[in-house]
Structure 1
Amino acid sequence: MAVLELERDVATEAPVRRPRRVGMLFIGSVAWIVLIGLSAIFADWLPIQSPTDMDLLAKRAPLFSPGHILGTDHLGRDELSRLIYGGRVSLLVGLLAPVIGVIIGGCLGMVAGYFRGRLETFAVGGVDVLLAFPPLVFVLAVTAFMGQSVANITIVIGVLGIPAFTRVARAVTLTLSEREFVTAARALGATHSRILMRELLPNVALPLLAFFLLAVAVTIVVEGALSFLGLGVPPPTASWGSMIGEGRENLDIAPWLAFLPAGFMFLTVLAFNVIGDTLRALTDPRPGAL
């Protein structure tokens, strides 16, 4: 009787595991990314003007002007249209460049963390060399040799992101390679490729996904900085960074030309950071889990 009462008391005092909630900030961030993404994808079918059409009689039109809800720039181009088409460039580079890093860096980090030895030494050494190389000099060299285009900027930023993904994948693999499920797979005679693909990859993919979203936010800022410096996509193609650079010259008479693209970039980067942090918290493995 006493044993039953003790078990009942323990069951009553046991904490109830509640599901984690994402919160309104996460939902708002997802809604903003969806809005910007759909606007960029379907920009050609939206009822907006061309981002390259100039109206010299309506230069620097203020906000909520007739026919230009967000005004015009110093050449009379519609600001709303340029923001939408600029978002297409920023999101394209921001999403594709980390893909290069996560594929190459993820594979390299997993292989280095699993096999270790000389392979790990070679991989870590190569990553350190790439990190030691000045990124701005690398961008200048590539753009001078291959020209300024969306593809070249994407490749350059993607290559510069390989070391970060390599380190993340290697650190997670080092932690998981000695866990019980990997040891059990080895004991059952599983090959190295099977362990990497079936046991380690699903567990490494979740941290890489969370880091990928954070890398997208960083890449958008990097692309904007390169465009601001004149190293991004060439004009008349619009991007948020180039729009900030053009609006810098009109801060005294038309400050919205710089603040609007800066605000769009800020909200987009913040949204990706919130989504990445939330997914990282949700996918964080519990201590002691196999």
Structure 2
Amino acid sequence: MVDLSAVQPPAGKDTATSESIRIGNARAVARHRKSIALGLAFWLPVGWLLFVILASALVPVLGPVLGLAAPNAPNFMNLRAPIGTEGHLLGTDPMGRDLLSRVVWGGRVSLTVGFAAPAIGVGIGLVLGMLAGYYRGWVDEAIGIAIDSWLAIPGLVVLLLFSVIYGGSLLMVCVSLGLLFIPSAARITRAATIGAAQRDYVMAARAMGATDLRILLREILPNIIWPLMAFVMIDIPIAIVAEGSLSFLGLSVQAPTPSWGGMISEGRDYLEVAPHLTFVPAAVMFLTVLSFNLAGDALRKRVSGGRQGAH
């Protein structure tokens, strides 16, 4: 007869195998939970942002269809109505204007500045940073001196100067805020360009006779654009808060055009009797800014994780 005990694995080996399987399963579960958490941290904010953006963009078309009152239509028979008033879901302001309508229309101003200002700053900073990081030498020094000189000017002075000279138009608010984003965007782009310019694919393109413009646009730009996108996601809430601060000071778009900062400023005199006049637009701004920050953080983690995985 054959002794079966001679072909059975030792008990210690079974224990070690079971332990390694258990550890592997635990790590897989931990990775799955982390993936779910990262997904929620990204898609929940993105869902809120899509709702706010679509509501602000489509309100001229859908507002009358849904029975939303005009943002500047007063109702002197229903001043400072509380939240939940019939016909006014979020109440009315001191002139009887519908608060929900003004919040949605105000989002058009805040979001326009939030997207346009970083686009202006990052667009100019992208060009300057790529030129400085690719050519180096005197080009890098000249652009560095210009950026350092621009950083020496207080940002508030720039905003006040544009407001005084050109008035509180939406275009000037976007341009003045956009100029403040140029230095940081240029520095990030310069650092990324220096790293990308030393890669093998850039050297191969240069050896094949590709022009500098082609190398910058076809080889370097696609490899540095994602870190810049994460940077833009952080700049957008900064621009929204800055526009709100300017509106609060009366230096942004002028009344009766609604904006979140302007609504907060209008409601500060009624905090004791009608706090919702301030807290409703402040809550919408808070959730929007928080959502941009969370989505930007999640995007930055995915980009950095992908780059580490590529290495």
Length-normalised TM-score, structure 1:
0.90
- Structure 2 partner of 1:75: 95
1:155 is aligned to 175
1:286 aligns with 2:307: yes
Q: How far off is 1:236 after superposition?
A: 0.3
Tell me which of 200, 210, 227 is aligned to 2:247: 227
Amino acid at match of 1:26: F
Alpha-carbon distance in structure 2 between the residues aligned to 1:125 and 1:148: 31
Matched pairs, number: 280
- Give the equivalent residue in structure 2 for 1:201: 221
- CA separation of 1:287 and 1:43: change in aligned 2, threshold 3 A: closer
* Root mean square deviation of aligned Cα: 2.2
Change (3 A) 1:288 1:113: farther
The structural deviation recorded for 1:288 is: 8.1
The alignment status of 1:59 with 2:59, answered yes or no, reads no
Conservation of the 8 A alpha-carbon contact between 1:207 and 1:280 = yes
Range that drifts further, 114-123 or 182-191: 182-191
Amino acid at match of 1:239: S
Q: Does the residue aligned with 1:29 lie in a helix, a strand or coil?
A: helix
Match of 1:269 in 2: 289
Q: 1:39 aligns with which of 55, 58, 66?
A: 55
Aligned equivalents of 1:251, 1:65: Cα separation in 2: 19
What amino acid sits opposite 2:126 in the alignment?
G
Specify the alignment match of 1:120 in structure 2: 140
SS at match of 2:291: helix
Q: Is the 8 A contact 2:248 2:261 kept in 1?
A: yes
SS in structure 2 of the partner of residue 245 of structure 1: helix
Q: Are positions 1:257 and 2:277 aligned together? A: yes
Q: Is the 8 A contact 1:20 1:282 kept in 2?
A: no
Q: Does 1:132 align with 2:147?
A: no
> How far apart are 1:38 and its partner, in Å?
0.9
CA apart distance, 1:105: 0.6
The question of 1:26 aligning with 2:42 is answered yes
- Is the Cα contact below 8 Å between 2:41 and 2:298 reproduced in 1? no
> Aligned letter for 2:71?
P
Q: 2: CA distance between counterparts of 1:227 and 1:266?
A: 16
Distance 1:23 1:69 in 2: 32
Q: TM-score w.r.t. structure 2 length?
A: 0.84
Equivalent-residue separation in structure 2 for 1:183 and 1:200 (angstroms): 11
Cα drift, residue 72 of structure 1? 0.7
Which amino acid in structure 2 is aligned with residue 127 of structure 1? I
For 2:91, give the aligned amino acid. Answer: G
Q: Deviations over 1:19-71 (max 9, x none)?
A: 95542231111111111111111112222101111112211111101111101
- What's the offset of the Cα at 1:184? 2.7
Matched, 1:167 2:187: yes
In structure 2, how many angstroms separate the alpha carbons of the residues matched to 1:250 and 1:77? 15
The one-character-per-residue Cα deviations of 1:207-236 (angstroms, maximum 9, x if unpaired) are 111111111111001100110111111000
1:182 corresponding residue in structure 2: 202
Amino acid at match of 1:182: V
Letter of the 1:226 partner, please give it: L
Q: Secondary structure at the match of 1:60?
A: coil
Looking at structure 1, the residues matched to 295 and 101 of structure 2 have their Cα atoms a distance apart, in angstroms, of 27
Counterpart AA for 2:298: T
CA deviation after TM superposition for structure 1 residue 287, in Å = 4.0
Say if 1:169 and 1:204, in contact at 8 Å, map to a contact too.
yes
Taking the aligned partners of 1:98 and 1:279, their CA distance within structure 2 comes to: 17
The Cα of 1:181 is off from its aligned counterpart by: 2.3
Alignment partner, residue 48 of structure 1: 68
Alignment gaps of 5+ in structure 1: 1-8
1:83 CA drift (Å): 0.3
Query: 1:25 is paired with a residue of what secondary structure?
Result: helix
- The aligned counterpart of 2:14 is none
Residues 75-107 of structure 1 show CA distances to partners (whole Å, capped at 9, x for unaligned) of 111100000000111001111111111211111
User: What is the aligned-residue identity percentage?
Assistant: 45
